[in-house]
Amino acid sequence: MTYDAEATRQRIFEAATAEFAANGLAGARIDRIATAARANKQAIYLYFGGKEKLFGAVVRAKLDEICHAVTLDPHTLPEAVGQLHDWYHEHPELVRLLLWEALEAGSGPVEGEDERARSYRGHVDGLLAAGLPDRPTAQDWLFTILGLVAWNFAVPQIRRLILDEPDPERAVARRREVVVELARVLAEQGAGAVSRP
């Protein structure tokens, strides 16, 4: 039987995603990742260069997934926000990873920061190309939209307490309707800003 390096990397990546989402960078253990991935610890260091770099690779890959799954365009913003909401609902690990990263890095630099910043600038450029009037407006739109959606999954206990909805799936569906409607209003205001002389 031959060794499949790519399959090993994928198993490590999946095990690391679960481990980091559950325990953060500081609480994650390489030995648990190796056991869950059916790999040895040396493979983790060989393929990813250590725990911090592995955490950064996991976060970047999850962000890449969502960036390829959803395109934010002011002209189709409500639909895009609905897709973004659905993606976060199906992949709650990204919110957990970002919260762990925020807790552990604070306002300091994060692994892969330059690459991630370029990716966000690309989204801002896309919003500008789609008609938003200036870079600060596009930046604010992107940050607001991401927060509007992600907050629903960052604090499920607050969602439950405020909405007083015993069925979590109904609460998520209710929040989806609200964020899509807010996106529609935001898109209309953005369209008005674009059409103003």
Q: Each residue of 120-143: pLDDT tens digit? A: 999 899 889 888 889 999 999 899
Closest CA to 84 of 12, 135, 174, 147: 147
The pTM for the full model equals: 0.85
Q: Residue 195 pLDDT more than 80? A: no
24: left (phi over 0), alpha (psi -120 to 50) or beta: left
What is the C-alpha to C-alpha distance for residues 165 and 29, in angstroms, rounded to an integer? 36
What pLDDT is recorded for position 101? 94
Residue 27 in this model has a pLDDT that exceeds 70: yes
Rounded to the nearest integer, the mean pLDDT of the chain is 89
- What local confidence, expressed as pLDDT, does residue 197 receive? 40
Q: How confident is the model at residue 93 (pLDDT cuts 50, 70, 90)?
A: very high
Confidence (pLDDT) at 74: 81
What pLDDT is attached to residue 189?
78
> Is 191 a residue whose pLDDT tops 70?
no
Question: Could you tell me the residue ranges of all domains in the chain?
Answer: 58-195
Tell me: pLDDT of 3 over 70: no
**Lowest-pLDDT range, 4-18, 64-78, 180-194?**
180-194
C-alpha to C-alpha distances, 17 to 45, 59, 147, 157, nearest whole angstrom = 16, 8, 22, 23
Give the per-residue pLDDT at 160: 86
Give yes or no for a contact between 130 and 74, defined as CB atoms under 8 angstroms apart: yes
> Above pLDDT 90, what percent of the chain?
64
Mean pLDDT over 22-51 rounds to 94
- Please report the pLDDT score of residue 112 as a whole number: 87
Mean pLDDT of 86-103: 94
CATH number for the domain running over 58-195 = 1.10.357.10
